[in-house]
Amino acid sequence: MFKLWIEAARPKTLSAAFAPVLMATILAYSEGVFHLWSAIAALFGAFFIQIGTNFANDYFDYKKGGDTSERIGPQRLTHRGLVTPNAMKKAMLLSFALAFIIGIYLVSRGGWPIVFLGLSSLLLGVIYTGGPFPLAYHGLGDIFAFLFFGPIATWGTYYVQALEHSNLALAFGAAQGLFSVALLSINNLRDIDEDRKTGKNTLIARFGATFGETEYLASISLALVSPLLFLLIFQHDHYVSLIGMLTFFLFVMPIKRILSYSDSRELLEVLPMTARIQLVFTLLFSLGWLIT
């Protein structure tokens, strides 16, 4: 049963929670405002929100008929009958409750801005696929994935440590938000046929596969050149951080797969490839930033 819950948590997507926290923490450390317990709390809070959102997607997609036997991606536990809807709902609520508890400490550090960001993040985890107007079913998932797993995540992580605003933290978040859009777009590109049949009107379901391929390739390309943009826009001296751009070598295989696939099943391996690119980029960039 434990392995089933690990599967439901979708560990291959957790880079979207880890990477923004790491980049913001590296920035805080380099500026002498690093705060260990805030960084740890932000990391675990992000993990529980991401896991809770994955559980919510499993539960609400099942309730709305968004998962079918024709699904190409990893089969959801509730749809497969391996976990009851009630058990999945409880797991979702437990994950969000743990994030809320961790958030109490972060609020004690950061005050009202963190109250707003924290509650907004929890709400997003539910209404992404749940509620009367699920964002993912109306083509709004990409925007909120960019914001909440990008600028909002990095700014919030930096703020609870430094207790001050940072434009650079927002810029770091833009790069991470683009990776989140890429992760979402490869999922939606893979599931385009099923989404159209079940009325899940993602942007890719609405505008087609070519749009999805372009969105994926453009998102990662922009994210990978972001170190150069940071250098030019903010005129900092962290030149070694440009080593993050070496991650382009890992991008070659996904590019080939996206440009040559003939069956959506061929896209299954692109998701872990993308998560790997995000992690390697974040680690290389962070290392370079610290070395400089």
Q: Whole-number mean pLDDT of the chain?
A: 92
- Inform me whether the pLDDT recorded for 73 exceeds 70: no
Residue 74 has pLDDT above 80, yes or no: no
Confidence class of residue 77 from pLDDT cuts 50, 70 and 90?
A: confident
The pLDDT value given to residue 66: 63
Domain range annotation of the chain: 14-291
Residue type, 164: E
Kindly state the average pLDDT of the residues 190-214: 92
Mean pLDDT of 120-135: 92
pLDDT tens figures, 157-168: 999 999 999 999
Torsion, Cα 52 193 195 203, to 10 degrees, reads: 90
State the pLDDT confidence band at 265, using cuts at 50, 70 and 90.
confident
pLDDT band (50, 70, 90) for residue 62: confident
pLDDT at 4: 78
> Nearest to residue 139, comparing CAs of 204, 66, 59, 50?
204
Residue 67 has pLDDT above 70, yes or no: no
pLDDT of 270 over the 70 cut: yes
CA distance 215 to 178: 10
The pLDDT value recorded for residue 89 is 94
pLDDT number for residue 63: 84
CA dist list (Å): 10 to 20, 73, 209, 265: 18, 12, 24, 18
Q: Say yes or no to pLDDT of 5 above 70.
A: yes
Question: By the 8 A CB rule, do 183 and 176 touch?
Answer: no
Please say if the pLDDT value at position 68 is more than 80.
Answer: no
Is 237 a residue whose pLDDT tops 80?
Answer: yes
- What percent of the chain clears pLDDT 70, i.e. is strictly above it? 96
- Chain CA centroid to CA 46, Å: 10
Mean pLDDT of 178-194: 94
Is the torsion defined by CA of 132, 137, 143, 147 positive or negative?
Answer: positive
